[in-house]
Amino acid sequence: MTARRLPRRIFIVIPAVAGFFLVLFAIFTIWAADTLGPIATIGDHVAPDDYTIIDGNLVFAPQGDPKSVGIVLYPGAKVEPLSYGAYALGLAQDGYLVCILDVAFHLAIFDADKAEDFIALHPEIGSWYVGGHSMGGVAAAMYADDHRESVDGLILLGSYPAGSNDLSEADLDVLSIYAEFDGLTLLSDIEASRALLPADATFEMITGGNHAGFGLYGAQAGDGTAEISALAQQTWMILSTLAFLEQSGSSAD
């Protein structure tokens, strides 16, 4: 009995399909590499010695009287981590350990569990908060949902959880900061997100702010026009976050 030969067209179709997916992956990689920010003057706000780079992540050590609290931030889609350096530095200057993650393909949704690696490096930290901007906030909410036993709080910056991450019954301190003229995360999105977050979640709107103002990376397509500077929005974010952390009781050593 002779073995049946595979149709000749199989040897044509398989390489063609493989080549098609390789082309798609190459296009995706090029698209993902076209990142936003940081602005050219970022050095005026965040100096190289303000942070260290560990496994690609930007780590801001606590200054002054250090607190036993860590904050892990996920960047927005295709936004360079250093774009959030001013925000991270402002928190670190008040005693918090802050890490801005370097995520795969610059898309946090593909690397939602990455906070776990950094958290594991710091057993001395007693309380952990995860947060992020835009898609980064979606990833942070995913992580918080999957690690409720080890995460104490969630900080959303122009962001909200995915519908599959219902945190309404979670024992989490939650801060949602949103912007009046955000053209990408709409006010209606924020309002709808309330049902997915604990009833005592804190919501604060930045009057005059927009989506790109949550970082220092310049303008973003589809965004609204801000009526305050990005630096003013950064200051607002820092003060709001510090007040939230203080109120939640996380600042205890």
Whether residue 186 is contained in a domain is answered as: yes
211-224 pLDDT, tens per residue?
A: 999 999 999 999 99
Whether residue 100 is contained in a domain is answered as: yes
What is the number of residues in the chain? 253
Whether residue 236 is contained in a domain is answered as: yes
Whether residue 23 is contained in a domain is answered as: no
pLDDT(1) > 70: no
Whether residue 201 is contained in a domain is answered as: yes
186-212 pLDDT, tens per residue?
A: 999 999 999 999 999 999 999 999 999
Domain carrying residue 244: 37-248
Give me the CATH number covering residue 166. Answer: 3.40.50.1820
Residue type at 233? Answer: Q
51-78 pLDDT, tens per residue?
A: 999 999 999 999 999 999 999 999 999 9
Strands (E), 19-139: 52-54, 57-60, 69-74, 97-100, 127-133
What percentage of residues in the chain have a pLDDT greater than 70?
A: 85
pLDDT(164) > 60: yes
What percentage of residues in the chain have a pLDDT greater than 90?
A: 83
Whether residue 10 is contained in a domain is answered as: no
Structural domains of the chain, count: 1
What is the per-residue pLDDT for 20? Answer: 57
pLDDT(247) > 80: yes
Phi, psi of 61 (to 5 degrees): -70, 145
What is the per-residue pLDDT for 143? Answer: 98
Confidence band (pLDDT; 50, 70, 90) for 35? Answer: confident
What is the per-residue pLDDT for 12? Answer: 59
Greater pLDDT, 5 or 77: 77
pLDDT(2) > 60: no
What is the per-residue pLDDT for 39? Answer: 97
Whether residue 88 is contained in a domain is answered as: yes
In whole angstroms, give the CA distance from residue 82 to residue 22: 31
Confidence band (pLDDT; 50, 70, 90) for 253? Answer: very low
Q: Is the pTM of this model over 0.75?
A: yes
What is the per-residue pLDDT for 38? Answer: 97
pLDDT(239) > 70: yes
Whether residue 28 is contained in a domain is answered as: no
In whole angstroms, give the CA distance from residue 170 to residue 152: 10
Quote the tokens at residue 180.
Answer: 């009046």
Kindly report the average pLDDT of the chain as a whole number: 91
77-135 pLDDT, tens per residue?
A: 999 999 999 999 999 999 999 999 999 999 999 999 999 999 999 999 999 999 999 99
SS (H, E, C) 188-243: HHHHHHHHHCCCCCEEEEECCCCCHHHCCCCCCCCCCCCCCCHHHHHHHHHHHHHH
Confidence band (pLDDT; 50, 70, 90) for 3? Answer: low
